[in-house]
Structure 1
Amino acid sequence: MYTISNVYIIATVAVIGGGLFGFDISSMSAILGTTSYKCYFNNNGFDENGMCRGPNPSVQGGITAAMTAGSWLGALISGYLSDILGRRYAIMIGCVIWIIGSAITCASQNIAMLVVGRLINGLCVGIQSAQVPVYISECVPPTKRGRLVGLQQWAITWGILILYYVSYGASFVGGDQPDTYSEAVFRIPWGIQMVPGVLLLCFMIFMPESPRWLARKDRWEEAHRILTLIHGKGDPDSPLVQYEMNDIREMCATEAMFADVTYWELFYPKNIYRTHIGMFTQIWSQLTGMNVMMYYITYIFGMAGYSGSANLLASSIQYIINVVMTVPALIWMDKWGRRVPLIIGAFLMMTFMFANAGIMGGTGIVRPGGIDGVPQQSMEVSGAPAQGLIACTYLFVASYAITWGPISWVYPPEVYPQRVRGKAVALATSANWAFNTALSAFVPEAFATIRWKVYIVFGVFNLCMLIHAALLFPETAGKTLEQTQFMFEDPNGIPYIGTPAWKTKKSTMDMAQVERGNVTVGPKDVDEKSMEETGTVEVKKE
Structure 2
Amino acid sequence: MLVGNIYVIAGIAVVGGALFGFDIASMSAQLNENSYKCYFNQGPKGPPFNDDSDCSGPESLVQGGITAAMPAGSWLGALISGPLSDRVGRKTAIMVGCVIWLVGSTLMCAAQNIGMLVVARIINGLSVGIESAQVPVYISEMSPPSKRGRLVGVQQWAITWGILIMFYISYGCSYIGEQNSYAYNTASWRVPWGLQMIPAVFLFLGMLILPESPRWLARKDRWEDCQHVLAKVHCKGDMNHPFIAVEMQDIRDMCEFERQFKNVTYFDLFKPEMVNRTFIGLFMQIWSQLTGMNVMMYYITYVFSMAGYSGDSNLLASSIQYIINVIMTLPALIWLDKWGRRPTLLVGAVLMAAFMYANGAIMAVNGEVVEGGIDGVKQQSMRLHGSAAKGLIACTYLFVASYAPTWGPVSWTYPPELFPLRLRGKGVALSTSGNWAFNTALGLFTPVAFENIRWQTYIIFGVFNTVMLVHVYFLFPETAGKTLEETERMFEDPNGIKYLGTPAWKTRVTTNHVQQLERGDVEVKTQREPVTREVESTQPAEPEKTS
Residue in 2 that maps onto 1:323: 326
Q: CA, structure 1 residues 270+373, in 2 after alignment: closer, same or farther (shift >3 Å)?
A: same
Code of the aligned partner of 1:36? S
Q: Could you tell me how far apart the structure 2 residues matched to 1:153 and 1:296 are? A: 19
Q: Could you tell me how far apart the structure 2 residues matched to 1:483 and 1:261 are? A: 22
Correspondences of 1:24-423 after superposition (within 5 Å): 24-46=23-45, 50-423=53-426
Q: Does 1:13 align with 2:25?
A: no
Secondary structure, aligned partner of 2:264: coil
- Residues 63-87 of structure 1, C-alpha deviations (whole Å, 9 max, x = no match): 0011000000000000011000000
Q: CA, structure 1 residues 498+188, in 2 after alignment: closer, same or farther (shift >3 Å)?
A: same
Q: Could you tell me how far apart the structure 2 residues matched to 1:537 and 1:469 are? A: 26
**Given that residues 41 and 54 in structure 1 are in contact (C-alpha distance below 8 angstroms), is that contact kept between their aligned partners in structure 2?**
yes
Q: Could you tell me how far apart the structure 1 residues matched to 2:64 and 2:83 are? A: 30
Q: Could you tell me how far apart the structure 2 residues matched to 1:281 and 1:192 are? A: 32
- Residues 236-292 of structure 1, C-alpha deviations (whole Å, 9 max, x = no match): 111111111011001111111111321011011110000000000000000000000
Code of the aligned partner of 2:218? A
Q: Gaps (5+ residues) in structure 2?
A: 530-539
Shift of 1:116: 0.8
Q: Could you tell me how far apart the structure 1 residues matched to 2:159 and 2:94 are? A: 16
Q: Could you tell me how far apart the structure 2 residues matched to 1:510 and 1:268 are? A: 32
**Given that residues 211 and 223 in structure 1 are in contact (C-alpha distance below 8 angstroms), is that contact kept between their aligned partners in structure 2?**
yes
Q: Does 1:23 align with 2:22?
A: yes
Secondary structure, aligned partner of 2:273: helix
- Residues 500-524 of structure 1, C-alpha deviations (whole Å, 9 max, x = no match): 0000001154322211222232477
Q: 1:484 aligns with which of 479, 483, 487?
A: 487
Q: Could you tell me how far apart the structure 2 residues matched to 1:377 and 1:523 are? A: 64
Q: Could you tell me how far apart the structure 2 residues matched to 1:110 and 1:166 are? A: 23
Q: CA, structure 1 residues 184+221, in 2 after alignment: closer, same or farther (shift >3 Å)?
A: same
Q: Could you tell me how far apart the structure 2 residues matched to 1:479 and 1:46 are? A: 62
Q: 2:509 aligns with which of 497, 506, 510?
A: 506
Q: Gaps (5+ residues) in structure 1?
A: 527-531
Secondary structure, aligned partner of 2:274: helix
Code of the aligned partner of 1:326? T
**Given that residues 480 and 511 in structure 2 are in contact (C-alpha distance below 8 angstroms), is that contact kept between their aligned partners in structure 1?**
no
Shift of 1:46: 4.2
Q: 1:435 aligns with which of 435, 438, 446?
A: 438
Q: Could you tell me how far apart the structure 2 residues matched to 1:412 and 1:347 are? A: 21
Code of the aligned partner of 1:131? Q
**Given that residues 247 and 523 in structure 1 are in contact (C-alpha distance below 8 angstroms), is that contact kept between their aligned partners in structure 2?**
no
Identity %: 64
TM-score by length of 1: 0.96
**Given that residues 353 and 396 in structure 1 are in contact (C-alpha distance below 8 angstroms), is that contact kept between their aligned partners in structure 2?**
yes
Shift of 1:45: 2.8
Secondary structure, aligned partner of 1:402: coil
Q: CA, structure 1 residues 109+537, in 2 after alignment: closer, same or farther (shift >3 Å)?
A: farther
**Given that residues 508 and 537 in structure 1 are in contact (C-alpha distance below 8 angstroms), is that contact kept between their aligned partners in structure 2?**
no
- Poorly superposed stretches of 4+, deviation over 2 Å: 44-50, 520-526, 535-538
- Residues 484-504 of structure 1, C-alpha deviations (whole Å, 9 max, x = no match): 012211122211111000000
**Given that residues 509 and 537 in structure 1 are in contact (C-alpha distance below 8 angstroms), is that contact kept between their aligned partners in structure 2?**
no
Residue in 2 that maps onto 1:529: none
Code of the aligned partner of 1:84? R
**Given that residues 71 and 437 in structure 2 are in contact (C-alpha distance below 8 angstroms), is that contact kept between their aligned partners in structure 1?**
yes
Supply the RMSD in Å over aligned alpha carbons. Answer: 1.8
Code of the aligned partner of 2:426? K
Q: Could you tell me how far apart the structure 1 residues matched to 2:23 and 2:362 are? A: 30
**Given that residues 347 and 463 in structure 1 are in contact (C-alpha distance below 8 angstroms), is that contact kept between their aligned partners in structure 2?**
yes
Q: Could you tell me how far apart the structure 2 residues matched to 1:512 and 1:65 are? A: 43
- Residues 362-398 of structure 1, C-alpha deviations (whole Å, 9 max, x = no match): 1100001000110000000110010000000000001
**Given that residues 211 and 229 in structure 2 are in contact (C-alpha distance below 8 angstroms), is that contact kept between their aligned partners in structure 1?**
yes
TM-score by length of 2: 0.95
Q: Could you tell me how far apart the structure 2 residues matched to 1:41 and 1:203 are? A: 36
Q: Does 1:515 align with 2:482?
A: no
**Given that residues 14 and 158 in structure 2 are in contact (C-alpha distance below 8 angstroms), is that contact kept between their aligned partners in structure 1?**
yes
Q: CA, structure 1 residues 537+281, in 2 after alignment: closer, same or farther (shift >3 Å)?
A: farther
**Given that residues 509 and 538 in structure 1 are in contact (C-alpha distance below 8 angstroms), is that contact kept between their aligned partners in structure 2?**
no
Q: Could you tell me how far apart the structure 2 residues matched to 1:261 and 1:390 are? A: 49
Q: CA, structure 1 residues 467+49, in 2 after alignment: closer, same or farther (shift >3 Å)?
A: farther
Q: Could you tell me how far apart the structure 2 residues matched to 1:99 and 1:353 are? A: 37
Code of the aligned partner of 2:203? L
Aligned residues between the structures: 533
Secondary structure, aligned partner of 1:410: helix
Shift of 1:536: 11
